[in-house]
A and B are shown apart, each in its own frame.
Chain A
Amino acid sequence: GQQVMQIPQYQHVQEGEDFTTYCNSSTTLSNIQWYKQRPGGHPVFLIQLVKSGEVKKQKRLTFQFGEAKKNSSLHITATQTTDVGTYFCAGRGSNYQLIWGAGTKLIIKP
Chain B
Amino acid sequence: ETGVTQTPRHLVMGMTNKKSLKCEQHLGHNAMYWYKQSAKKPLELMFVYNFKEQTENNSVPSRFSPECPNSSHLFLHLHTLQPEDSALYLCASSQEGRLAANTGELFFGEGSRLTVL
List A residues at the B interface (Cβ < 8 Å): 4, 9, 30-31, 33, 35, 41-45, 48, 88, 90, 92, 96-98, 100-103
B103 A101 Cβ-Cβ under 8 A: no
B42 A9 Cβ-Cβ under 8 A: no
A33 to B107, CA, bound (A): 12
Can you name 13 A-B pairs with beta carbons within 8 Å?
A30-B103, A41-B110, A42-B2, A42-B108, A42-B110, A43-B90, A44-B108, A45-B107, A48-B103, A90-B43, A97-B102, A98-B106, A102-B41
3 closest cross-chain pairs (CB), A and B:
A45-B105, A42-B108, A100-B43
Chain B residue with minimal CB distance to A88? B43
Q: How many residues of B contact A (CB 8 A)?
A: 19
* Interchain nearest-CB distance for B106 vs A (Å): 7
List B residues at the A interface (Cβ < 8 Å): 2, 40-43, 45, 48, 56, 90, 101-103, 105-111
Chain B residue with minimal CB distance to A5? B42
A9 to B40, CA, bound (A): 8
- Residue among A33, A41, A100 facing the most chain B CB atoms (10 A cut-off): A100
A45 to B92, CA, bound (A): 11
Chain A residues positioned under 8 Å from B56 (CB to CB): 97
A42 to B2, CA, bound (A): 10
A45 to B103, CA, bound (A): 13
